Structure 1
């Protein structure tokens, strides 16, 4: 029987392959140390005289940050087919970003509901030429960002780009839920703009901005259109 230590180490190797390198995996996990490398290489723990291993806290933290689902690191995935090379996997989350002034629905336990695989070439042409990691898919709901983003569109969020000083369209936590707004930085605060002119923009400043958590920049909208029979 495979030990939990070996299962977690094998899954760590699987994640390194998924994200191309340990360096890329550490970047998306926002880790600055070499602890994962030491676990993978079975470096000796000088305190115990045994190989370093992944504890429960680290395993749960990886699962949470990568939206793998609770317990993924403890499951044996060796029977699953290896992920193909030159493929980018995009996780679609069970998150609806409300495009309305009051924000979206509450978002607590986030899970991956679908994985979409695209070629690296397609990804670079349609989503980002700069890097292929750190992008997630959420569903837009509401009409306040029309015609830029329509209700039902799948938007690609770059969760590693939260710099609002560059301005643009962002996915953010506000008002108890997730929403999408165009952001413009002003001398006295930050303006949150709806592209649909029927909706008013609003400005937050000072301590009011503490209520905002930037999830990431919206870089692409994958428009989903349904056509009736006969068209």
Structure 2
């Protein structure tokens, strides 16, 4: 029998992160997370979604079986080939290019290869073919994503799909913003850091906003 409850393991996995902040980062409803923290047990599919967003083992979160983070082997830095079960993820930089409606993706040369477990990439919702590693710059998304954090970005997503965090180019600058589309057609560029004001992009100017990818995961340095 587990020695802790699901709510206790969830709280441990949150590691001090506020439920509201985690809700924004994961896309799981704030009220849903709070219900789980109060004792409601999620169905298996929702538990799997929580485990992926928290970067913990589903077996540990659901039933306290095995280690919380098995071997910390979701990512590796390798120098002599990629181990079985892992795939290399290129590290790139997005830069605005000359002319409206375009951007450049620069693959950065690194002496080491960043490799991530293929199963884990698919679990967080990104095909390994379109996974790219980027480094966050600035503090507009603090505490969700901090300056210098590594991000896994799905570069197959080049248009607004749902409210989430995107890497984009707007006004000649590379931005990391949470996008929200209103019924009026107005697009909002929102920062998780309350020091930054929400920007409004009217319909007539949205063609000038170029999305480089959707952030699927962010964390500290490898």
TM-score w.r.t. length of structure 2: 0.53
The residue number in structure 1 matching 2:85 is: 86
CA distance in structure 1 between the aligned counterparts of 2:81 and 2:152, rounded to whole angstroms: 25
- Contact 2:90 2:107 survives alignment (8 Å): no
Which one of the candidate residues 129, 137, 142 is aligned to 2:138?
142
Larger Rg over CA atoms: 1
CA offsets, 1:7-44, max 9 Å, x none? xxxxxxxxxxxxxxxxxxxxxxxxxxxxxxxxxxxxxx
CA distance in structure 1 between the aligned counterparts of 2:106 and 2:119, rounded to whole angstroms: 29
The residue number in structure 1 matching 2:176 is: 180
Give the C-alpha shift of residue 94 in structure 1: 4.0
The residue number in structure 1 matching 2:198 is: 201
CA offsets, 1:62-112, max 9 Å, x none? xxxxxxxxxxxxxxxxxxx87655321111124589xxxxxxxxx757132
Give the C-alpha shift of residue 204 in structure 1: 0.7
* Count of residues in correspondence between the two structures: 134
SS of 2:141's partner is coil
Relative to structure 1, is the Cα distance of residues 89 and 82 closer, same or farther in structure 2, using a 3 angstrom cutoff? closer
Where do residues 1-231 of structure 1 align in structure 2 (5 Å cutoff)?
A: 85-95=84-94, 110-114=106-110, 115-125=113-123, 127-128=124-125, 131-188=127-184, 189-224=186-221
CA distance in structure 1 between the aligned counterparts of 2:140 and 2:93, rounded to whole angstroms: 21
Relative to structure 1, is the Cα distance of residues 145 and 166 closer, same or farther in structure 2, using a 3 angstrom cutoff? same
SS of 2:207's partner is helix
Which structure 2 residue ranges, 5 or more long, are not aligned?
A: 1-79, 97-102
- Contact 1:137 1:155 survives alignment (8 Å): yes
Cα RMSD (Å) of the superposition?
Answer: 2.7
Relative to structure 1, is the Cα distance of residues 200 and 90 closer, same or farther in structure 2, using a 3 angstrom cutoff? same
SS of 2:134's partner is strand
